[in-house]
Structure 1
């Protein structure tokens, strides 16, 4: 949507006055990558938090990896859904900032906290009560019991986690995001230290084992929120909004506005995350080793996913600017370029997967444990499939962003229902369970679902941008090469 352009300063090197011909992509690529890089670095810092947890857990054993992996997958599913609901706060705050409506900004801050708290409480209860359902869905009771121990500690962390996300989108809407990268990097260092102390028992504390990872994660969520809150209180521009009466007073219109804008975004996020979570449950029915391998593979792919997430956000912002000026030639170019750079980045990583898969997996799973041999073998096989899968994952992620940039927030949700749930999930079940291909079959079905979603999203973007161009100019868009 065009209001997303308020998240960043306008790039000056992607104007309509660019030279035509093959050189058009240079200036656009420079602008795209310039904005993408800080977003990617922040994403990497954030994903490092869960990566540290998985690496530490990989030193403990198959049951611990499987149980914590199941717990983390469920937590992330709900966290992603809640984050989507407050994502629209940034756009709404930006609109109010342009109108200099300070009361509205304070009300939106409250509305974001309201929905973050509602989601946090509801999702915490779901995580604490979901154990029996997991057993009915075919999960190993031993794994579910262990996961329950982990979630008992981790679930309350949903509240500070979502509060932090609300503050992040609130400050972004005011173009003062603050030291997010610095806070996240500090959180990584604290996570490493706390994991070591709480897992193994240092400085006089007892050894909590794998539950220590959950304790460390919740502590870091809380400290990160408090640190960000403190930064805002010291900022002369942001502080008045936080301490104003409007920030702590019910405003039905603001609450409804955040709900209306955030719901389709939340639905898209939930659909994608739910697709991976359900496939994780399918894999969990295949045994502890399979679930442990899935945990590690998901984390490896998630790291690479951060590149396309940065490209997606950056492209969305540039396309929103172009949309606001009815410059649909630039909008299409940015969409195509972002997709191309996402494919290039994932192909480079795929080459590494193919050359040194064992070395990559060994970073996450210790070969010192004899019972880890099967997990390592499964994960190596999965990594080879992931070399192709992550290419389609990048395209569909960027496709979501560029469609939002052109003003379509509901389309990605509908497309996700088709690609993930009507094609990907049945394919994964049929190949993995019915055809007895095991974990490899589920991963192959997952790849089919992502490829289908990517193709539909990209096609929807091109059709929509061409239709908008015809509505404003009366002529179809020329091909980029001949423009």
Structure 2
């Protein structure tokens, strides 16, 4: 085991430098989804409802597929830490191939989702409109996963600079193309509702090609990029898939859990659902900070793991958790002191006049002040576990925290103990806390195991 060489301050600088662009990129992604919903809101209520449902379904598939190729960043970082740079190009190409395969499968599922929507009781007019959107949007899944493959490859090499600029351009393109295709401006055909889906596809393709052009000029990334994507090997494909599919399952489990909770909240009342959606969106925006921090910590833990610097890997993991919790606690202060100020941008004038919605949302913000600490911790926990090569534990711990504990408790507190929406959020906090704390325990266990193995190998040497 190598000696500890960097201080906590060095870790702060390194992690912050990598996490910063990732956080801003994540926030810009949220902006793109928000723009789509705002544009749909300019049309009919049916268009908004169908578009919102379609975007939710699209994001569920996108999240799972992105999870699979997320493994690329850790594998590339590990290869670089081991000085096996000859493995980096095959790993990138393996990610692109797997992303293509998953993209095609998911696109076919999305394009044929109407029977499922009708089966679960979706009104036919809503199912038809949603399906029409998804048939078009499905065409953008493959370039979406290509982009994510390149993204995590660049993060693995600690060179994510182009990401922020590309995502910023994507935001501007989303505004222009959405407006143009919906209303027929700028010489574009008037497509109305479907214009949003067409704009989404175009932006996904352009974002990928722009990233490739910039990456081919980047001195760090350029040496590993080839147009001969088939130049990979079975080992790289196997590594990417075996590490990636549990990550995709974990992301899908978390996203599905929140979707099911929203459906349950819908049975509690309109005011409850409105308040839930608003506060959930606030927590989701803040969550982007934790997601960027998680990716950065994960990469540096992978690098330390590759160098057998177990002490450093453990310190980065603990630092990431403490740093994330501190940021979340600081952000939560206005939730307590100025809840009306926090809620105002997310509520219409009519909703602000409904004291019931504001009262419910204000109380949920108090719960969210604690909840988002555990939410950030569990996301960072997934990242640091991935850094030491453990992706399956994160999935099973998410099943435990979300589905075995969180969901049943939400049902009991919300329905049988008459705590309503507050009970659901108490249960959500419980599920996230169990997941976060169990991940911390598992990370410490994995690090201790690696340390023991390293010591045994050192003695044998």
TM range (shorter): 0.7 to 0.9
Structure 1-normalised TM-score? 0.79
Q: How far off its partner does 1:202 sit?
A: 3.4
**2:36 aligns with one of 47, 53, 56:** 53
Correspondences of 1:27-426 after superposition (within 5 Å): 27-57=10-40, 65-93=48-76, 98-101=83-86, 105-137=88-120, 143-173=126-156, 176-177=159-160, 179-203=162-186, 211-234=194-217, 243-245=226-228, 247-248=229-230, 251-284=233-266, 294-367=276-349, 382-426=364-408
Q: Deviations over 1:225-265 (max 9, x none)?
A: 121233345557766765554x2368544433321221222
1:393 to partner: Cα distance: 0.2
Counterpart contact for 1:62–1:289, Cα < 8 Å: no
Q: Report if the CA contact (8 A) 2:329-2:369 is conserved.
A: yes
Q: Supply the RMSD in Å over aligned alpha carbons.
A: 3.7
Q: Alpha-carbon deviation of 1:108?
A: 3.7
Unaligned 5+ segments in structure 2 are 457-461
Distance 1:112 1:401, change over 3 A: closer
- Distance (whole Å) between structure 2 residues aligned to residue 202 and residue 427 of structure 1: 51
Kept in 2: contact 1:139–1:281 (CA 8 A): no
| Compared CA separation, residues 234 and 344, structure 1 to 2 (3 A) | closer
Q: d(CA) in 2 for partners of 1:335 and 1:296?
A: 32
Kept in 2, the 8 Å contact 1:199–1:210? The answer is yes
The equivalent of 1:16 in structure 2 is 4
Note closer, same or farther for the CA distance 1:48–1:41 as it changes in structure 2 (3 Å cut).
same
Change (3 A) 1:68 1:444: farther
**Distance in 1, Cα, partners of 2:128 & 2:421:** 23
The match for 1:448 is 430
CA contact (8 A) 1:140 1:288 kept: no
In structure 2, the CA distance between the partners of 1:292 and 1:50, relative to structure 1 (3 Å rule), is farther
Structure 1 residue runs of 5 or longer lacking an equivalent are 3-13, 19-23, 475-483
Residue 76 of structure 1: how far off its partner (Å): 1.5
Change (3 A) 1:435 1:270: same
Query: C-alpha displacement at 1:269, in angstroms?
Result: 1.9
Which TM-score applies when normalising by structure 2?
Answer: 0.83
Distance apart, 1:460 and its partner CA? 1.9
Provide the rounded CA distance (Å) in 1 between the counterparts of 2:333 and 2:211. 39
By how many angstroms is 1:224 displaced? Answer: 0.5
Which has the higher mean CA deviation after the structures are superposed, 399-408 or 232-241?
Answer: 232-241
| CA distance in 1 between partners of 2:433 and 2:251 (Å) | 17
In structure 2, C-alpha distance between the alignment counterparts of 1:400 and 1:49, rounded to whole Å: 25
How far the C-alpha of 1:446 sits from its partner, in A, is 2.1
Tell me if structure 2 keeps the 8 A contact 1:137–1:281. no
